[in-house]
């Protein structure tokens, strides 16, 4: 850890939030002299303060320790959409372009999409201006489709599904796009209508 870089980042984030050194110090329960010392690169926050400091400054602890935020240089487009699932709690996340996501204390990696196989094929029926989507996949607590989404050129429609319920959902019809869905045992699938 570079104390000077970390100090500059603390000062930058504090001023972006419109906080004085004294106000930041009060929020994290230290003296304003401690904040001044950090910002001048003459010391660093105690490990026990990093969680609170990162929360107040709204910055990842890793970036705080590195002393720089970096920039996301990846273009933000729908064809770069990534899906993430927390293996511990089952939360689902999406991102366009780059970035880092974490849940339950662990960094998440994007799901790798594969074409649907016979056991994971979707059945689509047209009902008025919607698709009625079903799948014969088992939906038990240990093995089920966790979510299904439709990705088009400008939006994602995501439906969270649950074990012990039939997989039967409706999506607005669209001329372009694809379905993607996550099986808790077998991975992430893509199905083009």
Claim to verify: residue 85 and residue 176 sit in the same structural domain: yes
pTM greater than 0.75 (yes/no):
no
Structure confidence at residue 28 (pLDDT): 94
Low-confidence residues of the chain, pLDDT below 50?
none
Q: What is the pLDDT of residues 133-187, one digit of tens each?
A: 999 899 999 999 999 999 998 899 999 999 989 899 999 988 789 999 999 999 9
Structure confidence at residue 66 (pLDDT): 85
Structure confidence at residue 77 (pLDDT): 65
CATH of the domain at 169: 2.60.40.730
> Is residue 73 in some structural domain?
no
Domain containing residue 9: 3-66
Angle between helices 32-39 and 3-16 (to 10 degrees): 120
Q: Could you tell me whether strands 156-160 and 145-151 are parallel, antiparallel, or unpaired per DSSP bridges?
A: antiparallel
> Is residue 71 in some structural domain?
no
Which whole-number Å values give the CA distances from 171 to 84, 111, 158, in the listed order?
21, 22, 9
Contact present, 46 and 60 (Cβ < 8 Å): no
Claim to verify: residue 103 and residue 47 sit in the same structural domain: no
Claim to verify: residue 103 and residue 160 sit in the same structural domain: yes
Contact present, 153 and 84 (Cβ < 8 Å): no
Contact present, 13 and 53 (Cβ < 8 Å): no
Q: Which two tokens stand for residue 39?
A: 């910002």
Structure confidence at residue 72 (pLDDT): 58
Last residue of a domain, one of 17, 37, 66: 66
Structure confidence at residue 175 (pLDDT): 79
Structure confidence at residue 99 (pLDDT): 74
As a whole number of angstroms, the distance between CA 110 and CA 87 comes to 12
């Amino acid at each position: 850890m570079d104390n000077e870089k970390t100090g500059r980042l603390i000062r930058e984030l504090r001023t972006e939030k419109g906080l004085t050194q004294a106000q930041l110090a009060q929020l994290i329960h230290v003296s304003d002299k401690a904040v001044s010392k950090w910002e001048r690169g003459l010391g660093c926050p105690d490990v026990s303060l990093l969680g609170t400091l990162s929360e107040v400054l709204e910055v990842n602890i890793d970036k705080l320790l590195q002393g720089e935020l970096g920039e996301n240089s990846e273009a933000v487009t729908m064809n770069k959409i990534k899906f993430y699932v927390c293996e511990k709690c089952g939360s689902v996340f999406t991102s366009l372009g780059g970035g880092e996501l974490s849940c339950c204390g662990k960094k998440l990696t994007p799901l790798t999409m594969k074409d649907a196989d016979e056991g994971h094929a979707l059945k689509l029926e047209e009902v008025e201006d919607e698709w009625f989507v079903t799948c014969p996949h088992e939906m038990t607590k240990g093995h089920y489709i966790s979510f299904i989404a439709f990705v088009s050129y400008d939006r994602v429609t995501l439906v969270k599904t649950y074990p012990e319920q039939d997989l039967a959902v409706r999506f607005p019809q669209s001329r372009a796009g694809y379905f993607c869905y996550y099986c808790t045992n077998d991975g992430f699938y893509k199905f083009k209508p």
